[in-house]
């Protein structure tokens, strides 16, 4: 059975927190994830039965969107689910008539950088020492499409 794509709801918060904490060294807090259900945000997720496989959170302001978070459960990483989530995000942006898309990514996240470039994003700047790491700080690469 292929994974089911659907928007997230507030009822999915526990599953989001579990995936976020398992997938990221510096995960978003429960409060920050809960705040992602406001009017300006839109989401997408893949599920297999009751299991959340991955999700994205994006915002929309006028004709622009920022991909705020994309997260894949560790057991599903490396299977193309991140690309499928990004493709669903891009599809929803097209359907909404969003003209400019933004994101930021850790400079050390080579797989994500390659994916974003393959999907038409280009680097447009950097935020020095933006992300905390175990050994200090690292840059955020700003990208737009």
Locate the domains of the chain by residue range. 4-144
Helices (H), 1-133: 13-23, 30-34, 81-95, 110-118
pLDDT digits 0-9 by tens, 82-121 = 999 999 999 999 999 999 999 999 999 999 999 999 999 9
Q: What percent of the chain lies above the pLDDT cut of 70?
A: 100
CA gap 144, 62 in Å, rounded: 16
Active site residue 104: yes
**Is the dihedral angle over the CA atoms 29, 35, 41, 42 positive or is it negative?**
positive
CA gap 22, 104 in Å, rounded: 21
Asked whether the predicted pLDDT for residue 122 surpasses 90, the reply is: yes
The whole-angstrom distance between residue 34's C-alpha and the CA centroid of its chain comes to 15
| CATH code linked to domain 4-144 | 3.40.630.30
pLDDT digits 0-9 by tens, 32-64 = 999 999 889 999 999 999 999 999 999 999 999
Q: Taking the model in full, what pTM does it have?
A: 0.92
pLDDT digits 0-9 by tens, 57-91 = 999 999 999 999 999 999 999 999 999 999 999 99
Set 55, 116, 121, 131: catalytic member: 116
pLDDT digits 0-9 by tens, 7-36 = 999 999 999 999 999 998 889 999 999 999
Set 104, 121, 130, 131: catalytic member: 104
CA gap 111, 129 in Å, rounded: 20
Active site residue 116: yes
Instruction: For residue 20, give the H/E element and its range.
Output: helix 13-23
Secondary structure class of 78 (helix, strand, coil): coil
């Amino acid at each position: 059975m292929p994974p089911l794509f659907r928007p997230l709801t507030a009822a999915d918060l526990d599953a989001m927190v579990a995936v976020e904490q398992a997938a990221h060294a510096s995960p978003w807090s429960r409060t920050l994830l809960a705040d992602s259900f406001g009017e300006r945000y839109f989401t997408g997720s893949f599920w297999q039965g009751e299991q959340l496989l991955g999700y994205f959170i994006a915002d929309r302001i006028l004709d622009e969107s920022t991909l705020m978070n994309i997260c894949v459960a560790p057991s599903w990483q490396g299977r193309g689910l991140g690309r499928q989530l990004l493709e669903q995000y891009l599809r929803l942006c097209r359907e909404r008539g969003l003209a400019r898309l933004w994101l930021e990514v850790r400079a050390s996240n080579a797989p994500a950088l390659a994916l974003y470039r393959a999907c038409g994003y280009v680097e447009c700047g950097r935020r020095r020492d933006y992300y905390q790491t175990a050994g200090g700080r690292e840059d955020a690469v700003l990208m737009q499409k």
